[in-house]
Amino acid sequence: MKLVQWVRFTWNFEQLGSLNSLLPDHYHVALATPAEDKELRAVIMRSVTQDTSWGDAIHEVEQMIDGWLERALSPESNGVCLALRHGLRIIGASVVMADPALEDQLTPGPCILMEYRNRGFGTALLGESLRQLQAAGLTKSSALTKNNAPVAKFLYPKFGGTAIPVDLPLLVA
């Protein structure tokens, strides 16, 4: 048995540097529409389920992701879904909740299909997610992840993200 431990990354926009991250010409980030709900869910779920670091908590995470997407795609929310596209195909997504009262505004954070990883797309999507939150008037944002997930090691420390361990009810894998 293994305990699943969580960490919350926080970005302070008052201390934030440049969020610029260039994408090749045939890639772009844009707001997703409610009509793309099914494709967004598929991209996010594939991104998480194909990442072996989530294997010990995959069922709990799937339920959490469903709730986050429902809330973000709801007309009453102040959330948006960003879609990273390769041509017309969605290859990555990020849910951004511009509500300072929430504990986490980037949950789930940037999700990139496995075959497109390690090319700077996660960095570009994180930068655009933070830019959206900053433009919405937030002064800081945060994201929750597992302490051993690749995003905790390689992505979230970018743009000045700082990690704080979180005392959530620990899941036992």
Q: Go through the domains of the chain in sequence order and give each one's CATH number.
A: 3-172 (3.40.630.30)
Q: Check residue 173 and give its pLDDT.
A: 45
**Residue 168 confidence class, pLDDT cut points 50, 70, 90:** low
Does position 170 have pLDDT exceeding 80, yes or no?
Answer: no
Cβ–Cβ under 8 Å, residues 62 and 55: no
Average pLDDT, the chain: 86
Mean pLDDT of 128-157: 92
**Rounded CA separation 157/44 (Å):** 21
Query: What's the whole-number mean pLDDT along residues 1-8?
Result: 76
Lowest mean pLDDT among 17-21, 53-57, 122-126, 142-146: 53-57
**In the β-sheet with 79-86, what is the strand arrangement from edge to edge?**
27-31, 79-86, 89-97, 111-112
pLDDT for the residue 163: 95
pTM flag (> 0.75): yes
Query: Are the beta carbons of 81 and 69 closer than 8 angstroms?
Result: yes
- Whether the per-residue pLDDT at 72 is higher than 90: the answer is no
pLDDT digits (tens, 9 = 90+) for 108-119: 889 999 999 999
Which pLDDT does position 116 carry in this prediction?
A: 96
Say if residue 155's pLDDT is above 90: yes
